[in-house]
Amino acid sequence: MAILLNNMGFENQPWADVFADELPDMPVHVWPEVPDPAQIKYAVVWKHPHGDLRRYPNLQAILLLGAGTDHIDAEPDLPKVPVVRLLDPDVGNDMAQYALYWAMHFHRRYEDYRQQAQRAEWQAHEVTRSKEFRVTVLGLGIIGQEVAQRIAGGGFCAQGWNRSPRQIEGVKTWHGAGELSEALQHSDVVVNCLPLNDSTRHLLNRQRLSALPKGAFLINISRGAVIDDDGLIELLNDGHVSGAALDCFAQEPLPQESPYWRMPNVYVTPHMSGSTYVKSASRPVVENIRRLEKGDVPQPIHLPPQHAAST
């Protein structure tokens, strides 16, 4: 039996090399070169073409090569096999650092100082104490919890909102749809860590973002379509939202005609807040294949809506 490998849009060879070293008895076939679909036991994939996974009659598990699940959740004909998320601690660390960096940037008004320096202008600005600067993380899953803890560790007033209750030491939390507006109303910065699904698409629209205090900031390290771009752009233009650090977008690469490129209060990065490093990310993937080979349950299991609807 063999592994199907497709790290769509990224290099496959480093992953193939790891599997050859760690799982020498299991051949690796890099999609689309699959000599015998019946030999595929595990699909190790990222943004794999919809419909193709049905070609492998002996498929026993799908192991994702990225943290997001929206692509697999949109698969219209997903085989009823376990779907395993990638949990790489280095990715969470990178994303938490990204969020902390921009929280510090917005809090201390570093953009103002950069612009002043270009004018040879010497002017200090008063800011609130960091422990009074409220940074709220939306979505307290594995990544969101790490981000909130890093924000707290950076000395900020760390807060969080989640659909279901979460308790995180040192972090004030809200939960449920009824408390989202309250969470936003008490935020100087919002960090979006929400997954993209039917309930979160355009959740952060103009109406909800208007609940933020005037002058608040937004950081997006999750999925672009959680935000209604038209609504955010309106609020950025009228100053209700002072600035945004955006790492992900509804369409990627971000089209050249997007207004975000030309807005002085928007900081665009090319979906790099959390990079997948083969050296660290391969360990949980290999370990999960070994678990499956022994008949054990891989971790962490993701329940796609297609599977949930059929249970």
Which residues are annotated as catalytic? 223, 271
> Which of 92, 77, 19, 111 is closest to 276 using CA atoms?
92
> Which of 202, 199, 222, 219 is closest to 69 using CA atoms?
222
- Which whole-number Å values give the CA distances from 211 to 50, 201, 256, in the listed order? 38, 18, 30
Amino acid (one-letter) located at 96: A
Find tokens 């208007």 and name the residue.
210
Contact (CB, 8 A) for 173 and 165? yes
Supply φ then ψ for residue 307, to 5 degrees. -75, -40
Contact (CB, 8 A) for 187 and 157? no
Q: How many residues does the chain have?
A: 311
Encoded tokens for 59: 């498929």
Contact (CB, 8 A) for 177 and 163? yes
Burial grade of 248 (CB within 10 A; 0-12, 13-18, 19 or more): buried
- Looking at the DSSP bridge assignments, the partners of residue 266 are 244
Burial grade of 35 (CB within 10 A; 0-12, 13-18, 19 or more): exposed
Contact (CB, 8 A) for 160 and 168? yes
Q: For strands 40-46 and 2-7, give the pairing.
A: parallel
Contact (CB, 8 A) for 226 and 192? yes
